[in-house]
Every structure is written in structure tokens, then in C-alpha cells.
Amino acid sequence: MRKKKFETSSHVEIKDLYQEKDTGGVTLGKPGEYPFTRGIYPSMYRSRLWTMRQYAGFARAVESNKRYKYLLEHGQTGLSVAFDLPTQMGLDSDHKLAHNEVGQSGVAIDSLADMEILFKGIPLDKVSTSMTINATAAILLSCYIAVAEKQGVDSKKLRGTIQNDILKEYIARGTYIYPPKHSLKIICDIFAYCKDHLPNWNSMSISGYHIREAGSTAVQEVAFTLSNAITYVEAALKSGLSLDEFGGRLSFFFNCHNNFLEEIAKFRAARRMWAKIMKERFKAKDEKSFMLRFHTQTGGSTLTANHIENNVVRVTLQAMAAVLGGTQSLHTNSKDEALSLPSGEAAKLALRTQQIIAYESGVADFVDPLGGSYAIESLTNEIEKKAFEYIEEIEKRGGAIRCIEEGYQQSEIQNESYQYQKALEKKEEFVVGMNLFQEKEEAIYKIYKVSEKSQKTQREALKKMKAKRDNKAVQKALSTLEKAARESQNLMPHILQAVKSYATVGEISDILRKVFGEYKPNF
């Protein structure tokens, strides 16, 4: 069975034959040179492999600490922290809305006490840490800085990334707290603080991953991500920051799905587009500001809950596409993630997938191995063209925030998701084992679930910590933070002080809720 219509997931027609004329006559240039279509470094993986991260975090800090050490022992080269939903939403584990969510989708972090346990025995000057956190990014970054100080590590030596990308939360994911205006203010505070105190830290990872998981096409993923990035740059400039002071510390986070050649072309197009935006639109001078450095995660929404072994093949294809597209770091999903939190063995197999690509496939020996392919260059041009058309439409409508408030991006993604679902049902698109080559499922898989006992233990630990800390110091720190928020001061130093007093994530978030309010969509 074959498709009746040959096109990519972004509805780019696939031609019968690609020839030189289809590349559009674009001069490719060299890797490591503007506009970086072929990669941001001249020698790419010949000099240094991508950072191998496995996104991990579950239950309490003590369990997640064991998983991190397990992955590091098996060759992982960077940590990637998943936080549970209450932590992401600024709610403590004892909040009524946190019931049954504690530790489920990531590790529960209520205060600095939990963060100390999370990184116990892990020297923070020796690892690069990525934290997928947005609305509460300033609080969790402050916790990380405080842990480093307790380890005797200067913050200037810390390497890593906080996602800190709130706009895509309004578009696709939903873990926002404050209105966009106030969220952007916090983000700019983080930019300014990192510039002075964490020079090796990526102060933002602008994410297309969750946009794609919500059902977007590859083109929409690139377009909406870069449109958000433009908004962040404009906000930072308006706050008084110099472009080249923060431009080189912006990073990106993309998804990788199954349409192998389109995904490779997507990464090339995004790299070229960002270089043009920073140089031609914003007039950046530092070449580092032109470089789109990105992390890739394989597509969680492409995994199937039946015949999970098939997911190993999907993840391998996606990981290879990310490498051929020039990613700087990579997370490979575990085969069982469509069922539950991944098992240790499945996480290790996902890591081994990266290692086999790196050390056995030979692709890392070549710099931009697919550069000059008629099909790849044609697809790169088409994705760039269609993505810029979306960006122009967003700007015509008043910019990314105006469009978010009116539901434009959300509506575009929902429509594509609906059309794809219809195509699956009509068998115009295929998923092996689901609507094609179906067979009876016989295997029984172990499903991991965080126990009620673990959740109860987390709440009890929080109660004990609150009783033990200096509550007068906590109240003083929170009062100072509230005053700073009302006076539009940079909040980072005050959040850091509150964290050091062992104020909780929920208590700090509540102070900011009190001052800024909460965002409620009106469309």
C-alpha cells in the first residue's frame, strides 16, 4: 500500500525526481560560516560529539538522583531534568491541586532542600544540566545556583540551560502562571542576571518541541518557534540589554519526527533563518548571535502504546535525522514512554541508540554529509519560504503575543492535528502496528507509577522542612521579593535570597501571583 499523494508532513509536494535546478541556486557555503545552513561549527562532530542527554525525573529527588547517577555511569554526558506538574505550575506538593500529581511527570521539587538531594554527589562544575522549566524557571535556576554554592562551585563555572520559554506554553503546553507581559519581564531579568553571573549558561531554550507535540507541522514548528524568539529579542532590547550581550546565549529546542528527509531539512532551514533574522533584522555584530544552537528530542507523540519495540526503530530514525541535521545535544525517547515513565533498562537502551550512531555508524566522521543533496536543499528552501510566510502573517496580525491572545497559533496547530487524525482514519497516513500491519498484542508490559507512599513521604518532608527552617527569615525574604516585584526591580537576586532561606516554590510563586495576577485565556 502506498500513498496516493506524495508530500511531506508540512504539505510540501515531493517531486518525481530532484535535480540541480530544484535547489534554487542557493550558494551553500561552508559549515561554520554564515548563514550556517551546513552547521554552526567547521568540523562539527569530528571535533566534538553532540551532548547525550536523557530527560529524566520522577517521584522524589532521592529516586531521580539515583537515575541520574545510573545514566552518567552508562555514558550520558549531560543531565536533563524533568519536573513534575506542580513544580512547573508553582504549587507545593501539599497544595490541594497537586493531589495525585506529585512526582508523576517528573521530579517533585518544593524547595532548595529537594534540589540539594537531587544533585547530591554530582559535581555541578563537571556536568552540563538542562532544566525543562518555564513559569518557575527563575526559582529553579536559583535553587541550582544555591546548590552549586553549597558545593563550593562558582556560578561562573556552571554550564547548562533553562528552557525559560513561556510563549510556547500559552500556545501549546499550558504550564503558564502569569500574564505574558509579566512573564516576559521575569525572562528579561533572567537574561540580565545570567549575563553578569552565569556567562556559560544558556538563559533560554526556545522550544518548538511542544508545538510539534501539540500537532503542528514541521513548518509551523519552525515558524512559531522563531516568531517567539523574535518577541524575546525585542523584549530584551526594550528592557535595555544589548543584543550581543544575550544573543549568543540563546539556544533552541526542536522535535524530530519520522519524516526523515524533511526533518533534516527543517534543522538546516531553521539555522539559516535565525542567522538572517539576527544579522539582517536585528543587526547583531557578534557571530555567536547568528548561530542557532539547538537540542533535539525525538518525537514523543510518534510513539505507540502497542508493540512498543517498534518505537526503538522510530527513535533510531529520528535520532539519526537529528544528527544529520547538526544538533548540538540529543535526547532519545525510551520505547515504553507511551505507557508510563520509562524504565531504567529502556532509558539505557535509548542512550545506547545515540552511542551506536556516534561510534559505529560513521556519520559523525563527515561534516554535513547530506549537504548538496538536491532533495535536501530543495526541502530546506521550501521550509524556509513557508516558515517566513507564517512569521510575516503573525507580524501582520500584531506580533506573537497578540496572536497568542487571539488564539491564532493554537487554531493553526489544532487544524493540522485534526487533518492528520482524519488522514490516519482514512489510511492516507500510516502508523505501523496501529492502522497498518496490525496484529494482536500479546506482550504484557510493566507500567511504572509513582506510589501514594512516595507522594505522602514528599509531603511529610515538606512539612518537616517548614518546621525546621527560620520562618522569620523566610517572611522577610518574601516581603523583600514582593516589594521588588511591585517596583519592577530585577527579581533574580531576591528570588535567590528567598530560595536560600528555604522559601518554597509555591510560596515564591504565590508572591508573584499576588503582584502580577494569573493569566486566563479569553478566546
- Asked whether the beta carbons of 350 and 332 are under 8 A apart, the reply is yes
Extract the C-alpha cell encoding 286.
557578534
| pLDDT of amino acid 53 | 86
| pLDDT of amino acid 1 | 61
Lowest mean pLDDT among 12-21, 133-142, 146-155, 177-186: 12-21
Would you say residue 116 lies in a domain?
Answer: yes
Would you say residue 8 lies in a domain?
Answer: no
pLDDT-based confidence at 25, cuts 50/70/90?
A: confident
> H helices of 11-162, where?
61-73, 85-88, 112-118, 137-151
| pLDDT of amino acid 205 | 95
Lowest mean pLDDT among 235-244, 269-278, 432-441: 432-441
Q: What is the pLDDT of residues 206-240, one digit of tens each?
A: 999 999 999 999 999 999 999 999 999 999 999 99
- Residue where the block lists cell 524533568: 82
Would you say residue 234 lies in a domain?
Answer: no
| pLDDT of amino acid 78 | 84
| pLDDT of amino acid 341 | 80
pLDDT-based confidence at 2, cuts 50/70/90?
A: low
pTM exceeding the 0.75 threshold for the entire prediction: yes
Would you say residue 139 lies in a domain?
Answer: yes
Among candidates 90, 154, 94, which has minimal Cα distance to 124? 154
Would you say residue 191 lies in a domain?
Answer: no
Question: Does residue 40 have a pLDDT over 80?
Answer: yes
Question: Does residue 46 have a pLDDT over 90?
Answer: yes
User: How many folded domains does the chain comprise?
Assistant: 1
Q: What is the pLDDT of residues 360-391, one digit of tens each?
A: 999 999 999 999 999 999 999 999 999 999 99
Among candidates 114, 120, 106, which has minimal Cα distance to 457? 114
Would you say residue 136 lies in a domain?
Answer: yes
Would you say residue 245 lies in a domain?
Answer: no
Question: Which DSSP letter does residue 369 get?
Answer: T
pLDDT-based confidence at 317, cuts 50/70/90?
A: very high
- Mean pLDDT, range 314-332, rounded to an integer: 97
Question: Does residue 440 have a pLDDT over 90?
Answer: no
Beta strand 204-207 with 159-162 is: unpaired
| Burial of residue 111 (number of CB atoms within 10 Å: 0-12, 13-18, 19+) | buried
Q: What is the pLDDT of residues 473-494, one digit of tens each?
A: 999 999 999 999 999 999 999 9
Question: Which DSSP letter does residue 441 get?
Answer: -
Q: Which domain holds residue 521?
A: 50-162+449-523
- Residue of 442 and 25 predicted with greater confidence: 25
| pLDDT of amino acid 148 | 97
Quote the CA–CA distance of 131 and 253 in Å, as a whole number.
Answer: 12
Would you say residue 458 lies in a domain?
Answer: yes
Among candidates 469, 324, 330, which has minimal Cα distance to 50? 330
Beta strand 128-132 with 51-56 is: unpaired
Neighbour tally for 21: CB within 10 Å: 9
Question: Does residue 442 have a pLDDT over 80?
Answer: no
Cα diameter, the chain: 73
